[in-house]
Every structure is written in structure tokens, then in C-alpha cells.
A and B are shown apart, each in its own frame.
Chain A
Amino acid sequence: MKRYLIGRIGQALLVLWGAYTVTYLILYLLPGDTLSIMLSASGMEADGLSAEDLAKARAYYGLDQGLWQQYADLLWRALHGDLGHSLSLNRPVTALLAERLPQTLALAGLAIVLSLLGGIGLGYLTAYLQWRPLKTALSRLPSLGFSVPVFWMGLLLIQVFAFGLGWFPATGSNGFDSLVLPAVTLAIPSAAVYAQVLQRGFQGVWQEPYIVTAFAKGLSRAQVQARHGLRNAALPILTLVGLQVGNTVSGAVLVETIFSRNGVGRLAQEAVLRQDIPVVLAIVSVSAAAFVVINLLVDLLYPYLDPRISHCPKVS
């Protein structure tokens, strides 16, 4: 087990390093260099300046190093906890993340909780119901939930619950009230996936011999589903939760824009557009780290939830 753990942590570090390097190279390969974007932002373009002025501007923004030198410099400092300085926001990236990350974590956390409640609830209900028309209707719902575009759902929720009913604020990131609509928006596609997977899971599980045995012991349908069905049918959801962390970061880009929230998703999108390399690298590293850690936890949890799975070689 210890050996397995060390191996997995080594793998995780490799993934982090890979994500960091690939992101850096992609940003570097994008057309238009950071300097000309920065100059253009301040109302000037690089070809309008003399070579001397250009060198001054390059030094001012700290862009006077080569590709690999800059990479090594950034990586070395990142390893020491210094994620660098944002070029256009004029602030250390760590301070920026400290300010923005809680917003996105709260949003993602609530979204994951809501999607699990919604998804498992719907899947469970669909499996329990026996009245055919309703069962069919409910089993079609996940496809709908997954097909509706996130931005449209967000706008719809704002119209109904913020402008129409006035229950929640439409924009901002102040308090729990302002978190509800964005979290619901972000939760819907994931909930749809969970519900779909769980419905399929139950379809398979109902055919298993141990279900027949459970019925034979005289248990009711509700008892069989709760004690024997759910635990077996729900296993794939654990894997999906790990994958959803990635979806929340990409979903946050849209949701945070629609709801004018000041989180990491929006920061990521803007940083990419302005080629603010230190900021993008930091966000990619943090989300890759979250992704890797959660998936590692999921893998470690499996043996406890399902004794048939083991990470240690079996002695036979």
C-alpha cells in the first residue's frame, strides 16, 4: 500500500509538471507576444516604438529573458511558493489567487454538493418508481439537463428567480444568497450525468443474483434498493466526482461571467486572452493539483467502499 501511494504521488507530481510545462509552451506559441499585447493595452503597439524604447518596455515588464530562461526562472520560483507577478494586474499572483480562489471554491463546492443531491436523488427516484410513463419521463430528464447550454440556463435562472421572483440577487459575490443561482447553474450538467449513470447502474444491478436473494429473504422493494442496490449502482459516481472537478473550473468561466462573480474562472479566461503567463500558469497548476489530489483520494477510497477492489497484490 505504501509503495502504491508513493508511486501515485510521484505520478501526480509528474502530471503537475507536465501541465505546467505544456501550458507555458502553448502560451508562448500563441500568436502575438505578451509585450505587444501589454503595449496595445496601454494604447500603443510595438511597431510604433523605436528599438530602444522597445527594450525599455521589455525590461519594464520583465520580458527581457529568453524562452527557457524565463521558464526555468518561473518554475524555480514556483517551487519556492512564489508564483510570480501578474503583468497587467500589477500584483503578486499568490495575492490574486488568495482573493479569487475562495469565491470559486465556494461556488464549486456548493455546485458539487447540489449536483450529487440532485443527480443521485433523481436516479434513485427513477429506479424506485414503477409507474411506466413517469419512469420514462424521468429517465429522459438527464439528457435534457446535459444538453441545455450553461449560459442559457444561467440567464434563464436570473430572469425567473432574480428578476421575476426576486428571491436571489442576479449578480455579485456577496454572501450565500448570491451563490445559489450560479451554483445551481453549474450543478445541472453534472447532476444530469450522475442521474444518467445511476439509472444505468440500477438497471444492471436489478438483474444481479444477490438482488433476487435479497427479495427471497423477504425484504421490501425500498429496503432492497437502499441496502443492496444503491451501494453497487453508485460506485461509478465516485469516479465521476473526481472528473467533475475539471468541469467546474471550465464551467466557472461561463458562470462567473454571467453572474459577474469575481472568481478564478473569469481570471483564467482574461489571463489567457492577455497572455498573462504567470497568472495562467498559477491557475493551471492549482486546478491540476486539485484534480490530481481529488482523483487520488477517490482511488484510495475505492477499497473501503468496495472490498472487491484492492491496491495491494493479493496473496493467494
Chain B
Amino acid sequence: MTHRLSLKHLLASCTLAMAVAGCSPQAETDAGQTLNIAFWGDNTTLVSVDPFQVYWLEHRVLLRNVVESLTDQDPLTGKIIPWLAQSWTVSDDALSYTFTLRQDVTFSNGERFDAAAVKTAFDSNKAFAGELPATFGATYLAGYDHAEVLDPFTVRLVLSRPNAGFLQATSTTNLGILAPASYALSAQQRSLGQIIGSGPFVLEHYTPEVGAKLRKRPDYAWPSANVANRGAAHLEVVNISYTPEESVRNGLFLQGKTDILWPRNPFSEVDLKLLQSKGASIQSRSLPGPALNLYPNTRNGRVLADRQVRLALQKAIDRSSYAHTVYNAEFPVVSGVYDVTTPYFKAQGDKLAYDPRGAERLLEDAGWHTGSDGYRYKDGKRLSLRYNLSPAESAGDVLVQDQLRKVGIDLKLNVLTRAEWVAGNASGNYDLTSTYMTRADPIILQTILDPRAANSATLATNTYEPQTLEAAKALFDRGITATSDAQRAEAYGQLQDLLLDQAAAFPLYERVWQAATAPRVQGFRWTAEGFALLNDIQVKQP
């Protein structure tokens, strides 16, 4: 196996190594209670920190500490636990949710948090989704009809159609409750940082592409059970910066100018060793939602319309060498359609085993025979797959290309701009494409693979052969209308089986989110959705 590194990666590693060589021991004495977090580049396509619109993971980390939700989710069990709501009941038809709210909560502008504020938040979100149906939060709010204020601290949210993920949705940043004053502002004003929440930190300012500053709220005292610190945050100030250039971002961390280095993609082994040699701790959590899957185009007589070929493709991918060479020896090997942190995840490692001989047999049976150049041919046509990706290919993509070549499949890495990629998905001009979403509920797969709710109906339709599509839709329906855990587990279990048995998804790797924390940072903990609650963090001399 040849593992080709791109020039950029090589350069990044070299410069990182140089950074260390030029490094002198740090003498930080006045680090105090300021925490500096460095993320990769900001989202430049949708510039917004409005909770309801935000899908950008880094912004959801920021918002989790400013804006709170009715409920929270236990990161270990996935169970929904009280937060701003002390308790709740769900009607038997799963259409009305009655929340009893805490009475000691205020927003940072002094407004009282009560049933009316909850109604304002949900109604404003619904109105915004009506205006812009494409907005990300709309999928969380699916089915929401109206809210009834039963008394100042009891509110009933009524759905018009079942949504088994609704309770989980109330725990997310997307349905976080802002102060009524925030909803009086325009969506544009909220997007640019005029966000008033009830969280342990106040968003002092957000400058797109530069950074954001959070300041502690001294009178905070109502965390969920996920937080050990029951009072105000230990940290005085949190500075967030967006540094697009990897080697510069890493260098700032190694210099001690950043306390948490938190890029989107997992660290490479070289970077990991270097960071650990500097005493950094690596925090990792699989992001709930689908794993990094490739989705086939089975329609219009394309090569992957043949299930035999798809199954061969599934067998030809060596996922453990992907995890261990692209990342590192401890990196988890993907074992299902979802990441392990997703509720109702079903481990299916046996269906994803590497079996090149089996793949070759399947291809032979399907009529694809090896030609003189090592690739397979049928009726004079080469077994060539067009894989649309944006904005650049990764080391992993090149590795998969190499693995597939061994069984005679020619994987063409078709690098596109975001705009071309979107157009390619919409027109079905691809054999393989990839996308992901993060949410700690299996319902999130509907935004990718259910044509009735998906971002790209074409992608969702093309993934399945016609008869499989109907089966998948039925399972999605059973999952969303289920009223008990057992029913949901059964529906989503069958769905995961279906996706792999039909080879409608090709998992490549577990989407692990990693952050490196400096030795002086203590108390870093993940939330269920892979964010962090900063009110437990302390900055101390190690």
C-alpha cells in the first residue's frame, strides 16, 4: 500500500516540526482565568451565530455556553435530562409536551425566563422557518404547531404530526431559548452576535472570521446535571479565534498562546505525537450522527446500480488501515452507518470487514474482468467511479482510491468547488458523494437519506434502488412516529441493516472530533452532541 501525502500536509508537518525546534519553554504566569480557544476558519458561507440557523459545529460550541435549552442530554446514555425545564410529560399520542420550568432563571439582560419566553422563542423560530424553509433549525422544529402558556412557569408545546426526535431537539442549541428582546431584533442582527441567553457566559462580541469573546455571568446558578460546577463559571473570559492556516494554528498552541487547539479534522499521527510530547491532552469524541459515509448513485443505469458491484465496493475498503494510517493506531475503526455516540447505534463491524478476495469474486460474477492495465472491464467499458468531493481531496480519499485499484476499480477523485459539488448532487452527475450532519438523534439521517426531508432529494433518492427506497421510507416513518424506546430501537436497527445489506452507504471512518488542551486546562468535558460546557473548565498551573 502506498500512502501518499499531499504536499500541503508534508509542508504543514515540516513547519510544525520547525516550530518546536524554535520553541522555548513557556513561562506563563498571568494566564489567570482567561481561556483561549483556536478553531479552524470561520464559516464564510453562512455568517451567523443565530442559534436557530447555525449548523457550524464551532458556533454550536460557542452557543452552548451562552444559550440554554429546555432540556439537556446525558453524554453517556443519550437520555434527556432536565435543564431549564425541571420536568415534563409527553401525551400518549406524542403530540403534546408539557414542560414545568425552573423559576430562578433570568436572561443576561435581566428579563425573566418563563413560559411566555419559551412561547416567544418557539413561535419566532416557527415564523422564521416559514420565511426561510431551508434553515437548519427547521428540521428540529418539524411538526411544531403552537405553544400554550398554562401558567407563568408551565408551557405546553403542541405538534401537528408526530416527531419522536422532538424531545431531543429541545436539548439542542438549535432550539435554545433566547431572551424575548432578541426576537424583537432582525435575524441579521442576531446572526451578527446580538444574542441574549441565560447561559453561564455572555457573548460580548462576535467578529466574523476573526473571533468572539465570552464573558462570565457572575449570577449564574442553574446548570444541568452535566455540569459539576453549580455556580458561576471559573473562567472570567473566553477568547475564541478562527485561524484557517493549520501550521500557524498549531504553532500558536505550541507557543502557549492558545489553551485549546480545536480543529475540525482529527489530528494526524505526526501532529498528535508532537502535541503529546508538549504535555497536551487529547480530548476525543465521536460526533453523533452518521459516520463519514459515501453515498452511491444507483439510478440512471450507472455502474453502482448493480448491487453486486456495490457489495464488492463495500468489501474492497480497508477501514482499519484507513483509521490507523490516515489517523493513528488508537483511532476507532468505523463499525456502522452511524457513529457510536448516536442513540440506537447498531454495531455492524462484521458487514464492513475487509475482504478483497470476496470483492474480486463478486465483480467476476457480475461480469467485470481484469484487463491488461489491472482495471476491470465489461463490454469494453472500464469499471470507473466518479467520486465528487469538495473543496480538496484528503489523504484518506487517496488511500481509498489505492485500495479500490487493487481489486480493479478505478476511483476518480473529482475535486469540485462547493457550488459545482452542490450542482453535481442535484443533477445526479456522480457515482459516489459524501455529506454529514451532527445531531445526537438517529433522526438526523433523514436530512441526508429521506427524500421527503433531505437537503438534497436527488442524493437521497439516488442512494437506493427503487424498491429499497420504499422500505427505507417506511422505516424512517416508523422511527419518527414511534412512541416507545423499543419501537425506535427496532425501526432504526432495521434501517441500519437495510443500508448496509443494500450497500446504500459506504462508511469510511468514525467522525471523531479532537481537541488538544494545554496542561493548565482542567475540567474539559464533552456534551452529548460533541460540544463543551466551559463553566467546568479551570485554568491552573499544572
Which A residues fall within an 8 A CB radius of B?
30-32, 36-49, 53, 56-57, 60, 88-91, 152, 155-156, 158-160, 162-165, 170-171, 173, 257-260, 262, 266, 270, 273-275
| CB neighbors of A among B218-265 (8 A) | 241-245, 247-248, 251-252, 254-255
Q: Which segment, of B45-53, B105-113, B341-349, B472-480, faces chain A?
A: B45-53
The answer to whether A43 and B447 touch across the interface, beta carbons within 8 angstroms, is yes
Can you name the residue of chain B whose Cβ is closest to the Cβ of A156? B15
State which of A48, A171, A260, A262 has its C-beta within 8 Å of the C-beta of B457.
A48
Partner of B419, one of A30, A56, A164, A260: A30
Indicate if the CB atoms of B47 and A88 lie closer than 8 Å.
Answer: yes
> Is B308's CB within 8 Å of the partner chain A?
no
Complex Cα distance A56/B133, Å? Answer: 8
Q: Which residues from chain B contact A162 at a C-beta distance below 8 Å? A: 251
User: A90–B44 Cα gap in the complex (Å)?
Assistant: 11
Question: Known contacts A37-B45, A43-B455, A89-B208: does B423 contact A31 (CB below 8 Å)?
Answer: yes
Chain B, residues 415-448, CB within 8 Å of chain A (1/0): the string is 0011111110110000000000100000000010
Using A32-B419, A90-B191 as known contacts, list a sample of 15 further A-B pairs with CB atoms less than 8 Å apart, ordered by residue number in A. A37-B419, A41-B46, A42-B135, A44-B133, A45-B459, A48-B454, A53-B133, A156-B15, A160-B22, A162-B251, A170-B248, A170-B255, A260-B243, A262-B207, A262-B210
* Cβ contact within 8 Å between B447 and A88: no
Q: Measured between C-beta atoms, what is the minimum distance from A85 to chain B in Å?
A: 10
In the complex, the chain B residue whose C-beta lies closest to that of A155 is B15
Contacts of B376-429 to chain A: CB distance below 8 A: 391, 417-423, 425-426
A159-B417 in contact (CB<8A): no
* Total residues of chain B contacting the partner, CB 8 A: 59
Report the Cα distance A270→B241, complex, angstroms: 18
Assuming the contacts A90-B48, A163-B251, A260-B244, asked whether A45 and B455 have C-beta atoms less than 8 A apart, the reply is yes
Which residues of chain B come closer than 8 Å to A159, judged between CB atoms?
15, 18-19, 22, 251
Given contacts A48-B455, A48-B456, contact A273 B53 (CB under 8 A): no
Interchain nearest-CB distance for A147 vs B (Å): 16
Q: Is B132 in the interface zone, CB < 8 Å from A?
A: yes
B420→A171 contact, CB < 8 A: no
10 A-B residue pairs with Cβ-Cβ distance under 8 Å, sorted by A, are: A31-B420, A42-B46, A44-B136, A47-B458, A48-B456, A48-B457, A162-B251, A163-B19, A163-B251, A260-B242
Contact (A45, B425) CB under 8 Å given A32-B419, A266-B209, A273-B418: yes
Across-interface contacts of B167 in A (CB, < 8 A): none
A42 to B248, Cβ gap below 8 A?
no
B127 at the interface (CB under 8 A from A): no
Inter-chain CA distance A158–B14, complex, in Å, is: 13
Which residue of A31, A42, A171 is within 8 Å of B243 (Cβ)?
A: A171
Q: A47-B426, A56-B132, A273-B418 are in contact. Are A262 and B44 (CB under 8 A)?
A: no
Decide if B44 touches A40 in the complex (CB within 8 Å). no
B23 at the interface (CB under 8 A from A): yes
Cβ of B150 < 8 Å from any Cβ of A? Answer: no
Is B181 an interface residue when CB atoms closer than 8 A count as contact?
no
Contacts A37-B45, A90-B192, A262-B209 given: A32-B423 contact, CB under 8 Å?
yes
In this assembly, does B188 line the interface, its C-beta being within 8 Å of a C-beta of chain A? yes
| CB–CB A32/B243 < 8 A | no
Instruction: Tell me the bound Cα distance from A121 to B244 in angstroms.
Output: 35
Residues of chain B lying within 8 A (CB to CB) of residue A163? 18-19, 22-23, 251, 254-255
Q: Which of B181-213 contact A (CB under 8 A)?
A: 188, 191-192, 207-210
CA distance A38 to B419 in the complex (A): 10
Q: In the complex, what residue of chain B is closest to A36 when comparing beta carbons? A: B422
CA distance A289 to B132 in the complex (A): 37
B247 and A155 within 8 A (CB): yes
Contact B191 A40 (CB under 8 A): no
Q: Is the pair A91, B192 in contact by a Cβ cutoff of 8 Å?
A: yes
A50 to B149, CA, bound (A): 33
B327 within 8 A of A: no
Is B188 a contact of A90 with CB atoms below 8 Å? yes
The interface residues of chain A, by DSSP majority, are classed as: helix
A83, B22: Cα distance in complex, Å: 47
Q: How far is the CA of A158 from the CA of B457 in the complex (A)?
A: 46
Q: Is B134 interfacial (CB-CB < 8 Å)?
A: yes
B:1-31 near A, CB below 8 Å: 11, 15, 18-19, 22-23
B131 at the binding interface (Cβ < 8 Å): yes
Q: Are B132 and A60 in contact (CB under 8 A)?
A: yes
Inter-chain CA distance A178–B55, complex, in Å, is 32
Residues in B with CB closer than 8 Å to A273 are: 44-45, 391, 417-419
Contact of B251 among A43, A49, A158, A275 (CB under 8 A): A158
A37 pairs with B418, CB closer than 8 A: yes
> Contact check: which of B53, B423, B460 meets A36 at CB < 8 Å?
B423
6 nearest CB pairs, A to B? A32-B419, A164-B22, A44-B134, A41-B45, A43-B136, A41-B46
Say how far A47's CB is from chain B's closest CB, in angstroms. Answer: 5
On chain B, the residues within 8 Å of A49 by CB distance are 133-134
A43 to B46, CA, bound (A): 9
Q: B residues within 8 A CB of A39?
A: 134
Q: How distant is the Cα of A260 from the Cα of B248 in the complex, in angstroms?
A: 9
Q: Judging by beta carbons under 8 Å apart, are B422 and A45 in contact?
A: yes
CB distance A170 to B251 under 8 Å? Answer: yes
How far, in whole Å, are A160 and B15 apart by their CA atoms in the complex?
Answer: 10
Chain B residues contacting A165 (CB-CB under 8 Å) are: 22
Bound together, the chains give a CA A24 to CA B276 distance in angstroms of: 50
Q: Which of A37, A53, A90 contacts B422 (CB 8 A)?
A: A37
Q: Which of A36, A88, A258 contacts B46 (CB 8 A)?
A: A88
Closest to A174 in B: B210
Which residues of chain A are within 8 angstroms of B459 by Cβ–Cβ distance? 45
Return the contact of B44 from the options A88, A164, A260 (Cβ within 8 A).
Answer: A88
Q: Give which listed residue, B44, B422, B425, B453, contacts A270 with CB less than 8 A.
A: B44
- Do the beta carbons of B55 and A43 come within 8 Å of each other? yes
Cα of A19 to Cα of B248 in the assembled complex, Å: 35
